[in-house]
Structure 1
Amino acid sequence: MGIEFLASLDWLKKSPFPALHRIKRELKRKMKFAHKLSLNLSELPEKDELLIRHIQDRTRQFNVNNITRTMAYEEYYRRHPEIEWAFLGHMVSRNGGWNMTDLRGEPHSRLLSAAEQNRFFQFLERGNWLIFQDAYPQFLLYEESLRREKSLFHLLPFFHVSAFMEVMWNHFWTSGDRYLLTIALVINEQSYLEKRMIQNQHYQDTILQTLEFKLHDWLSMNQILFPYYTLSEEGVPQTAATGLIGETLHRFGSLHERILLGKRLYALLFGHPDRLQGILSWAKDHPHTASRKDYWPHLFNDVNDSVPGAPYKKRLDDCQLKPGASRFYSPALQYAWSNVEHEEAVVGDWLEDWKVIAYLMGHEEHAGGGIEQAYCHTLDKIELAVMAKTAIL
Structure 2
Amino acid sequence: MLNRGRGRGRFGLRLRKIKQFFSLPAAAWDYAVGKWHGLEASHEMLAEAAPLQLAEDAVAELEGEWRKLEEQQAEQVTGEWSGQEKILIERIRAETSRLNRNNVTRTEAYRLMYQRHPELHWAMLAHLVSRNGGWNMTDLAGEWLPQLLPGDKRQSVFLLLEHANTFIFGDAYPQLLLYEESVRMQRPLFHLLPAFRITRFMKPVWEQFWRRRDSVPLTVALIVNEQHFIEQRVVQDDYFRKNVLDTLFFGMQSLLQLNAVMFPYHYTEGERELRLAGLIMEDFDDLSERIEFGKSLYAVLFGVPRVRGGALAFAANGRHTGSRADYAPHLFARVRREPPTALYKERLLGGKLLPGAAPLYSPELRDAWSNQNLETAKREDWFGSADGILPYFRKLKLPRSFELTNEYGLLLNKIELAVLAAQQLRQEGHP
TM > 0.5? yes
Partner of 2:96: 59
CA distance in 2, matches of 1:202, 1:107: 25
Q: 2:327 aligns with which of 295, 300, 304?
A: 295
Following superposition, the deviation at residue 323 of structure 1 comes to 2.4
Following superposition, the deviation at residue 279 of structure 1 comes to 1.3
Instruction: Provide the identity percentage.
Output: 41
1:201-350 counterparts in 2 under 5 A?
201-217=238-254, 221-229=258-266, 241-350=273-382
CA distance in 2, matches of 1:389, 1:310: 14
1:66-85 counterparts in 2 under 5 A?
66-85=103-122
CA distance in 2, matches of 1:45, 1:131: 28
Following superposition, the deviation at residue 367 of structure 1 comes to 5.3
Following superposition, the deviation at residue 46 of structure 1 comes to 1.1
Partner of 2:56: 17
CA distance in 2, matches of 1:322, 1:242: 16
Following superposition, the deviation at residue 365 of structure 1 comes to 4.3
Following superposition, the deviation at residue 106 of structure 1 comes to 1.3
Q: Is the 8 A contact 1:93 1:128 kept in 2?
A: yes
Which one-letter code corresponds to 1:187 in the other structure?
V
Partner of 1:5: none
Q: Is the 8 A contact 1:300 1:328 kept in 2?
A: yes
Which one-letter code corresponds to 1:17 in the other structure?
E
Which one-letter code corresponds to 2:231 in the other structure?
E
SS across alignment from 1:224: strand
CA distance in 1, matches of 2:271, 2:111: 20
Following superposition, the deviation at residue 192 of structure 1 comes to 0.7
Taking a change above 3 Å as real, the CA distance of residues 228 and 217 of structure 1, as seen in their structure-2 partners, is closer
Partner of 1:383: 416
1:117 paired with 2:117, answer no
CA distance in 2, matches of 1:274, 1:216: 29
CA distance in 2, matches of 1:391, 1:276: 43
Which one-letter code corresponds to 1:309 in the other structure?
T
Following superposition, the deviation at residue 275 of structure 1 comes to 2.8
1:89 paired with 2:122, answer no
Partner of 1:137: 174
Q: Is the 8 A contact 1:227 1:282 kept in 2?
A: yes
Which one-letter code corresponds to 1:25 in the other structure?
G
CA distance in 2, matches of 1:178, 1:69: 21
Q: Is the 8 A contact 1:229 1:281 kept in 2?
A: no
SS across alignment from 1:162: coil
Q: Is the 8 A contact 1:223 1:249 kept in 2?
A: yes
Following superposition, the deviation at residue 322 of structure 1 comes to 1.4
Q: Is the 8 A contact 2:99 2:106 kept in 1?
A: yes
Find runs of 4+ consecutive structure 1 residues off by over 3 angstroms.
Answer: 217-221, 237-242
Q: 1:33 aligns with which of 62, 68, 72?
A: 72
SS across alignment from 1:225: strand
1:166 paired with 2:207, answer no
CA distance in 2, matches of 1:120, 1:372: 25
Taking a change above 3 Å as real, the CA distance of residues 16 and 274 of structure 1, as seen in their structure-2 partners, is closer
The total of aligned residue pairs comes to 372
CA distance in 2, matches of 1:21, 1:268: 25
CA distance in 2, matches of 1:319, 1:190: 32
Structure 2: stretches of 5+ with no match in the other structure: 1-53, 427-431
Which one-letter code corresponds to 1:23 in the other structure?
L
Taking a change above 3 Å as real, the CA distance of residues 239 and 195 of structure 1, as seen in their structure-2 partners, is farther
Partner of 2:407: 374
1:50 paired with 2:82, answer no
* Bigger Cα Rg: 2
Q: Is the 8 A contact 1:230 1:238 kept in 2?
A: no
**TM-score using structure 2 length:** 0.82
Following superposition, the deviation at residue 272 of structure 1 comes to 2.4
CA distance in 1, matches of 2:340, 2:312: 38
Q: Is the 8 A contact 2:100 2:106 kept in 1?
A: yes
Instruction: Name the Cα RMSD after superposition.
Output: 2.0
Following superposition, the deviation at residue 165 of structure 1 comes to 0.9
Following superposition, the deviation at residue 280 of structure 1 comes to 1.3
Following superposition, the deviation at residue 301 of structure 1 comes to 0.3
Following superposition, the deviation at residue 368 of structure 1 comes to 2.3
CA distance in 2, matches of 1:186, 1:144: 22
Q: Is the 8 A contact 1:221 1:378 kept in 2?
A: no
SS across alignment from 2:73: helix
Following superposition, the deviation at residue 363 of structure 1 comes to 5.3
CA distance in 1, matches of 2:84, 2:233: 32
Q: Which deviates more from structure 2 when the two are superposed, residues 342-351 or residues 79-88?
A: 342-351
